[in-house]
Amino acid sequence: MRFAAMHSVVRARLQSLALSFLAVATASELAWLWSKATSKRVCKKAKLIGYVTDVEGDFAYWNRYVGLSRVLRRVDGRLELKDGCHLVFGGDTVDRGTGDLRFLKELLTLKSAYPDRVHLILGNRDVNKMRLTAELCDKHWLPDDGAHPGVYWAPGSTPAAFQQKHGLAEDNRANRLKWMLKENLGSPDAFEFRRVELSTFRSCKPANVSDDEVLESYLQSVAPYGLMTEYLQQAQLAAIVGDCLFVHGACLPRSIGMVPPLNHDETSALPFSASFAKVECVHEWVAQLNLFASTQVQQWIKDPYHWPGASDRGGEGFFQRTGGGLLRYGMNDMPEGQPPVPGVVYANYLVQGNPQDVAPEVEEFVSKGGLRYILTGHQPHGDAPVIMQSAGKKVMAVAADTSYAKFTKWLEEDRSALTDPIDNKNTRGLVAFEVCVEETKGVNIHGSLSDGTMVDFTCHNGSSMQGPGDKVGEWWIKGKLPDGRLVITHAEGFNVTNQLL
């Protein structure tokens, strides 16, 4: 760990020097830096790739995953990555369980031990923690007029209304954090989950952990060398490993090849999406996305409290801060009148809850770069990863977020989702899955469905055999049982139903 700490200090110094260079570089120097960054080829040979995503602080789920993983093993409490294997985590580390800090620490320890074989992806729940530094600091946590306007995507929700609704005595920083987590960060139980985790560390009851201690834990996580800060530095918006492309949300026709500017002027009247550039090579696209993300993160680390006090902090002025471009890229809704961001973070392949074929434009863009698989998470779909094919059978996409698995319904009367007997707020039940991509052998999915049934099947890209990724009427084939029966699924919004065929 001493070496890792020294490495972090050296890396931070080099990144600081790079930012200083960016501030004074000429146009030709910037062009040279850009060309050097984007000329890097991120493709790596990988014998076996293991993929898991959207753990969201559910440490019990993480341990179930490790228990069935074919790339990881736990030896005397320490995680090891098996020889020749790669691990990719698809983003969203925290917010919905009592293991945020433990999970972050294990991921970062793995990344430190196997820097070239562990790959971390930025999810929206990771990126949005960059908000905490400015919004909870002494200078900015209360606006000058004392009446916070709220945020544009949650109209009517303000700290004052939250304080009144919950009977809170004062609008202090801890209560402001509760408001942020509950009402505009999509994490209604996160504050109390963190209290429970801290009580576990201290071997005390959760009631003995104060609100201020929970607040301090969050602030420490986004401080220099904090766990979330370190994750943001180590993670990428996209990664190419072998013939696989990894992003958090989805690769859609509107997002492929689209690159945000390194330093968008957040005071400009030009919509953010209108300032994107288009590239035609998937490898160059990934390199430029990651250069954008790392530049934004380093600017935020250099000045984490910068927020110039725009008059419209609840709207367009919300993004007028260091790292504001990445915050915007990782979100869905934009201020009124602005089109959605053509990004890969807050995106999915589902229409009214049901998966769709990979679009022809995406198939062409990805396949001409020599890639065959797209692996994502972000949007939950039932109790198992869902496979989608392109019409030309050149590209297969896998969406592997199972974070709401326990709500899956079964048409068979003798089957129902199992629930966690200890944690009644757990929405995943006892599901656990790993997606593996093995060189020349296709995509393997193994794990347990919501009713406890174990599955282990492999899909071959381009196969003409009916199987996962195909449709039976309005139902999507999701998996295959050991006895040969198919698991088919259909959704109406977030309500997902399984049936055996």
Q: How far is CA 219 from CA 129, 173, 234, 386, in A?
A: 10, 11, 19, 36
Percent of the chain with pLDDT over 70: 86
Q: CA 348, CA 254: separation in Å to the nearest integer?
A: 12
Q: Do 246 and 329 meet the contact criterion of CB atoms below 8 Å apart?
A: no
142: left (phi over 0), alpha (psi -120 to 50) or beta: beta
Q: Do 244 and 119 meet the contact criterion of CB atoms below 8 Å apart?
A: no
DSSP-assigned letters across all residues of 413-481: TT------SS-TT-SSTT-EEEEEEETTTEEEEEEE-TTS-EEEEEE-TT--S--TT-EETTEEEEEE-
Residue given tokens 């931070």 in the structure block: 12
Q: Do 343 and 255 meet the contact criterion of CB atoms below 8 Å apart?
A: yes
Provide the token pair at 106: 């294990």
Q: CA 394, CA 486: separation in Å to the nearest integer?
A: 23
Summarised one tens digit per residue, pLDDT across range 14-72 is 444 444 444 444 333 344 344 434 433 454 577 899 999 999 999 999 999 999 999 99
Closest-CA residue to 236 (of 98, 365, 344, 141): 344
Summarised one tens digit per residue, pLDDT across range 434-489 is 999 997 789 999 999 999 999 999 988 766 656 777 888 889 999 899 998 999 99
pTM of this structure: 0.90
Q: Give the model's confidence band at 300: pLDDT under 50 very low, under 70 low, under 90 confident, else very high.
A: very high
Q: CA 424, CA 426: separation in Å to the nearest integer?
A: 5
Average pLDDT score over residue span 236-240: 98
Provide the token pair at 56: 């969201």
Task: Name the 3-class secondary structure at 239.
Answer: strand
Q: Which pLDDT does position 31 carry in this prediction?
A: 40
Work out the angle between the directed axes of helices 27-38 and 2-24 (0-180°, nearest 10). 140
DSSP annotation of 41 reads: -
Q: What is the CA radius of gyration of the chain?
A: 22
CA 450 to chain centre: 23
CA 492 to chain centre: 24
CA 441 to chain centre: 27
Q: Do 213 and 174 meet the contact criterion of CB atoms below 8 Å apart?
A: no
Q: Do 285 and 279 meet the contact criterion of CB atoms below 8 Å apart?
A: yes
Strands (E), 321-380: 350-351, 354-355, 373-376
Q: Give the model's confidence band at 312: pLDDT under 50 very low, under 70 low, under 90 confident, else very high.
A: confident
Q: CA 335, CA 426: separation in Å to the nearest integer?
A: 33
Provide the token pair at 190: 């996160």
Q: Which pLDDT does position 275 carry in this prediction?
A: 85
